[in-house]
Chain A
Amino acid sequence: MFKSLGRLIIRGLTQIGQASGMVYSCLFWLVKSPLEFNQTMQQTVKIGVESMVVATLTSLFTGMVLALQAGTTMQSILSEPIYIGTLVGFSLVRELGPVLTAFVVAGRAGAAVTAEIGTMRVTEQIDALHTLGTDPIRYLVIPRLIAFTLAIPILTLFANVTGMFGGFLVSVYSLGVPSNTYVEDITTFIGVDDLMHGFIKSIFFAFMIGVVCCYRGLYTRGGAEGVGKSTTKAVVTSMVLILVLDYFLTAILNSLGI
């Protein structure tokens, strides 16, 4: 029992060590060699486009359900549906926008990245990069890390807008809130610091997803089965870490007054 717990901890620490090593190598190659600009742009577009539809649908319906819940709650407490825009806006911009978008991208593009790099590992394409004068960190990992870190915050901003639009639809057409009331509820109470709060979190999520998914891909072992395993692990690890990171980032940002 204690033995297997100990082993688990050692494995966890080893993996953190290896992943940090990977990030360190990224910094090293970023300084030592030119950025693979085309790769980076390609990956950013790919990750963005791949996740766009799911992210939009997710945030649209989240905004709608938030409005519905807020509306019925307000109705039963205060007997009229007020401050819906504020509630929807706050929840989306500070929490659900960044978290759900990160979830969606981890499940969509993150899984694809791990599967791709993992397949390259088990078919020796990673070794081939070494023999042809480049390096998987330089050619694969850095472009993807940058791509995630660019694409996710942008997708998050996008998700915030579609989410609020979803809330708008439900408020106006189902709860009968006048449309300028909904908009005013948002614009009067939600400020730049709330936007920053969500935006900063999404940058951290993005970087973490990139690290986890590339790391799992690079350290894949054991054929097609291994690729499947690391892909699952990459997604699960990313999702858990998003929530953990979310708590701590919120605590830190709140204490900084953002």
Chain B
Amino acid sequence: MIEIKELRKSFGDKHILRGVNLNIKEGEVTTIIGGSGTGKSTLIKCIIRLLEPESGSIVVNGEDITHIKSEMALAKVRRNFGYLFQEGALFDSLTVGENVTFGLKYLTDTPKSEYAKIAKEKLALVGLKDIEHLKPSELSGGMKKRVSLARVLATEPKVILYDEPTSGLDPIMSEIISELILDLKKKLGVTSIVITHDMKSAFEISDTMAMLYEGHVELAAGVKEFKKTKNPYVKQFIEGSSKGPIQMQIRN
């Protein structure tokens, strides 16, 4: 349902994405792994068109969205997606409750009287309760992340892009979130793209895994095949070994 071909994106003279090819199938969980700063967030921001790629193409359900310019048309594209921001991006002038229900007004016809109920329900899904009246500044890092996830879930999107949903969470909470992602797939047929550094969770939830390395997709494959790969880059990365073809520049 999402086809990405030869996608390129730079910031100034930093060439981040240098020809990314990836297919995302409807109803599947696709995880994207890769080193810090390789452009994983950049890639999914291109998919939802928070960023405009330089070249290549992104086709969503048959529509080429790569270079759409009009605000109205972009808003329509973004309606297809839910997006969990890496740092949460909660509105700090609003309460937790208002944050969670923020999108309902713009994306759904839900009557205002339902908002409180929906906030409670979605917060419960991510293991939180009785915090609707707090401001984001009063929450811990992991709580912010989960409130942010609740905000995504509130509008019940058909495709969800998760930027590190389990980072900053304890192991048990991570497991709960992983199960939640699987649940959404099974019960509601939600398509998910998940960026993660958590290999355990990645193997648990993925149908397809893709590794981004040096601006391209090094390997994209079903999870079983991915685990057993001989590709030395991917192998080193999923084993988390400091020895191998990927050399981190630590000292100059």
Residue positions of A touching B, CB distance < 8 A: 25, 28-29, 32, 116, 119-120, 123-125, 127-128, 130-135, 137
Provide the bound-state CA to CA distance between A32 and B87, in Å: 31
What are 29 A-B contacts defined by CB distance under 8 Å?
A28-B71, A29-B71, A32-B72, A119-B92, A120-B91, A123-B92, A124-B85, A124-B86, A124-B89, A125-B90, A125-B91, A127-B45, A127-B89, A128-B83, A128-B89, A128-B90, A128-B91, A130-B74, A131-B48, A131-B78, A132-B102, A132-B107, A132-B151, A132-B155, A133-B75, A133-B103, A133-B106, A135-B75, A137-B71
Q: Which residues of B contact A131 (CB under 8 A)?
A: 48, 50, 78, 81-83, 103
Nearest-neighbour CB distance to chain A for B221, whole angstroms, equals 29
**B79 at the binding interface (Cβ < 8 Å):** yes
Nearest-neighbour CB distance to chain A for B102, whole angstroms, equals 5
Provide the bound-state CA to CA distance between A170 and B82, in Å: 64
Residues of chain B from 20 to 58 with CB closer than 8 A to chain A in the complex? 45, 48, 50
Contact B78 A124 (CB under 8 A): no
Provide the bound-state CA to CA distance between A132 and B50, in Å: 12
Nearest-neighbour CB distance to chain A for B95, whole angstroms, equals 15
B86's closest neighbor in chain A, by CB?
A124
A29's closest neighbor in chain B, by CB?
B71
Provide the bound-state CA to CA distance between A65 and B49, in Å: 57
Contact B50 A130 (CB under 8 A): yes
Nearest-neighbour CB distance to chain B for A19, whole angstroms, equals 17
Residue positions of B touching A, CB distance < 8 A: 45, 48, 50, 71-72, 74-75, 78-79, 81-83, 85-87, 89-93, 102-103, 105-107, 151, 155
Q: Which residues of A contact B82 (CB under 8 A)?
A: 131
Q: Which residues of B contact A137 (CB under 8 A)?
A: 71
Contact B78 A133 (CB under 8 A): yes
Not counting A130-B74, A132-B151, A133-B78, a sample of 8 additional A-B residue pairs whose C-beta atoms are within 8 angstroms of each other reads A32-B72, A120-B91, A125-B90, A127-B89, A130-B78, A131-B50, A131-B78, A137-B71
B161's closest neighbor in chain A, by CB?
A131
A127's closest neighbor in chain B, by CB?
B50
Nearest-neighbour CB distance to chain A for B117, whole angstroms, equals 19
Contact A125 B89 (CB under 8 A): yes
Nearest-neighbour CB distance to chain A for B148, whole angstroms, equals 8
Contact A132 B103 (CB under 8 A): yes
Provide the bound-state CA to CA distance between A133 and B71, in Å: 11
Contact A124 B75 (CB under 8 A): no
Provide the bound-state CA to CA distance between A92 and B50, in Å: 48
One of A29, A119, A127, A133 near B85 (C-beta < 8 A): A127
Provide the bound-state CA to CA distance between A28 and B87, in Å: 31
Q: Which residues of A contact B155 (CB under 8 A)?
A: 132-133
Provide the bound-state CA to CA distance between A124 and B71, in Å: 18
B108's closest neighbor in chain A, by CB?
A133
A131's closest neighbor in chain B, by CB?
B83
Provide the bound-state CA to CA distance between A179 and B81, in Å: 69
B74's closest neighbor in chain A, by CB?
A130
B102's closest neighbor in chain A, by CB?
A132
One of B48, B79, B87, B93 near A124 (C-beta < 8 A): B87
Q: Which residues of A contact B87 (CB under 8 A)?
A: 123-124
Nearest-neighbour CB distance to chain B for A138, whole angstroms, equals 9
Q: Which residues of B contact A127 (CB under 8 A)?
A: 45, 50, 85, 89
Provide the bound-state CA to CA distance between A124 and B48, in Å: 14
Known: A25-B71, A32-B72, A127-B50. A133 touches B89 (CB 8 A): no
Provide the bound-state CA to CA distance between A77 and B45, in Å: 72
Nearest-neighbour CB distance to chain B for A66, whole angstroms, equals 40
Nearest-neighbour CB distance to chain B for A70, whole angstroms, equals 46
B83's closest neighbor in chain A, by CB?
A131
Provide the bound-state CA to CA distance between A29 and B106, in Å: 14
Nearest-neighbour CB distance to chain A for B50, whole angstroms, equals 5
Nearest-neighbour CB distance to chain A for B90, whole angstroms, equals 8
One of B72, B74, B85 near A128 (C-beta < 8 A): B85
Provide the bound-state CA to CA distance between A134 and B106, in Å: 6
Provide the bound-state CA to CA distance between A29 and B72, in Å: 9
Q: Which residues of A contact B151 (CB under 8 A)?
A: 132
Q: Which residues of B contact A124 (CB under 8 A)?
A: 85-87, 89
Provide the bound-state CA to CA distance between A220 and B90, in Å: 18
Nearest-neighbour CB distance to chain B for A143, whole angstroms, equals 12
Q: Which residues of B contact A120 (CB under 8 A)?
A: 91
Provide the bound-state CA to CA distance between A146 and B211, in Å: 48
